[in-house]
Amino acid sequence: MARRSQFVPWKAAGRVSERQTDADDVVRTTGWVFNNETGQQLTLASFVATGDEEVGSYLHTFGLDGDDAAGKDLVEIGSGIGRMTCAFTKRFRCVTACDLDAGFLERCRESVARFGRPKSLRTLEVADGRTIRLPDNSADVAFSFITLQHCRRDHALALTTEAVRVVRSGGRIALNYRRRSPIDAVLVPVGSVVRTVFKIPGIGTTMSRHRSMTRLAWQANRLAPHDLVVAVGRALRDVEVWHNPHRAIDGAGATTRTMAGVNPSHWWLVATVA
Ligand SMILES: C[S@@+](CC[C@H](N)C(=O)[O-])C[C@H]1O[C@@H](n2cnc3c(N)ncnc32)[C@H](O)[C@@H]1O
């Protein structure tokens, strides 16, 4: 497969994570890939604890933590090394953790083996960055956090369509996106240049150890509620757009709701599949 530039920073980070002895080392040395922190004091346990807390908070806020969750199947798009996946496996019957990078999925299995419920976990490589190889109507919930902003725009839209396709009628989606901010006038074009530099053999791996370079390379797309309503709105009902209370958003006809914990640059599409 052609080396797509938006894959390169993640694939380089995945190779770095594969070379660490275990997931504790991944968190100590490349934790910033997910939560911007590194340091010898860090552990996989503390990393997963941040995911446990966020999963509890988002599921509760979005009404996805009912007593019936134990009989439901969840698809997580962009699981990384399983920071949130561990918590999902303890709550849902079956969790399909999907990621672009097979190395991250290997670490995800390790994380869930230590801190989650491995018998509930399946992993699925999103080899082309846009297709979730699951049957139609095969899950009850699709969830994605800090991932769809890191894909090419058409891939983020394709993955959203895939989330709606794999969720059964009456099931729910909770998908996180990044919106446009004034600083994007610089960040987005610089990110594109940095991704190109990442493609130079040998340089990507070195660059992927530098947080600032990798964070620039991630800046792949910005989407507004209007973009998603156009793309998948007709397949959804009870559409909600969740955002930070200090930053208003045009919900494109959806119900807008606020949650203090939402990053001011992010928003969530929460809806029922029609
Ligand atoms: C910032 S991490 C977030 C991981 C996890 N959701 C969390 O909050 O800890 C983003 C993840 O998305 C994955 N990713 C990026 N582009 C993707 C794509 N097109 N399809 C699937 N996964 C993708 C990356 O490999 C990475 O593991």
- pLDDT tens, the chain, 274 aa long: 445 666 777 777 787 778 888 888 877 776 655 666 677 778 889 889 999 999 999 999 999 998 899 999 999 999 999 999 999 999 999 999 999 999 899 999 999 999 999 999 999 999 999 999 999 999 999 999 999 998 889 999 999 999 999 999 999 999 999 999 888 888 888 888 887 887 777 777 777 667 677 777 777 789 999 999 999 999 999 999 999 999 999 999 999 999 999 999 999 999 999 9
If we measure between CA atoms, which residue out of 9, 29, 140 comes closest to residue 75?
140
Task: Fill in the DSSP letter of residue 48.
Answer: H
Q: Residues lining ligand 1, CB < 6 A?
A: 10, 34, 77-80, 83-84, 98-101, 104, 126, 129, 145-147, 150-151, 155
**Res 1: pLDDT:** 43
**Res 166: pLDDT:** 98
Overall pTM surpassing 0.85 (yes/no): yes
**Res 2: pLDDT:** 44
Ligand 1 pocket test target in 1, 99, 221 with most atoms within 8 Å of CB: 99
Query: What is 8-273's CATH number?
Result: 3.40.50.150
- Ligand 1 centroid distance, CA of 234 (Å): 26
Burial class from Cβ neighbours inside 10 Å (0-12, 13-18, 19+) for residue 60 reads: exposed
- Ligand 1 centroid distance, CA of 151 (Å): 9
**Res 31: pLDDT:** 62
Ligand 1 pocket test target in 100, 153, 162 with most atoms within 8 Å of CB: 100
Domain map (residue ranges) of the chain? 8-273
Q: How far apart are CA 160 and CA 154, in angstroms?
A: 10
Instruction: Work out the angle at residue 218's Cα, subtended by the Cα atoms of residues 217 and 223, and round it to the nearest 5 degrees.
Output: 130
**Res 35: pLDDT:** 62
Residue 183 makes CB contacts below 8 A (sequence gap 6+) with none
Instruction: Give the long-range contacts of residues 132-138, CB within 8 A, separation 24 or more.
Output: 132/75, 132/77, 132/98, 132/159, 132/162, 132/163, 132/165, 132/166, 134/75, 134/96, 134/166, 135/166, 136/165, 136/166, 137/166, 137/167, 137/168, 137/169, 138/73, 138/166, 138/168
Nearest ligand 1 atom to the CA of 34 is 1
pLDDT digits (tens, 9 = 90+) for 208-223: 667 677 777 777 789 9
Which residue is closest in CA terms to ligand 1's atom 17?
A: 100
Which residue is closest in CA terms to ligand 1's atom 1?
A: 34
- Ligand 1 centroid distance, CA of 152 (Å): 12
Beta pairing partners, 167 = 139
- For the beta carbon of residue 40, count every other beta carbon within 10 angstroms: 7
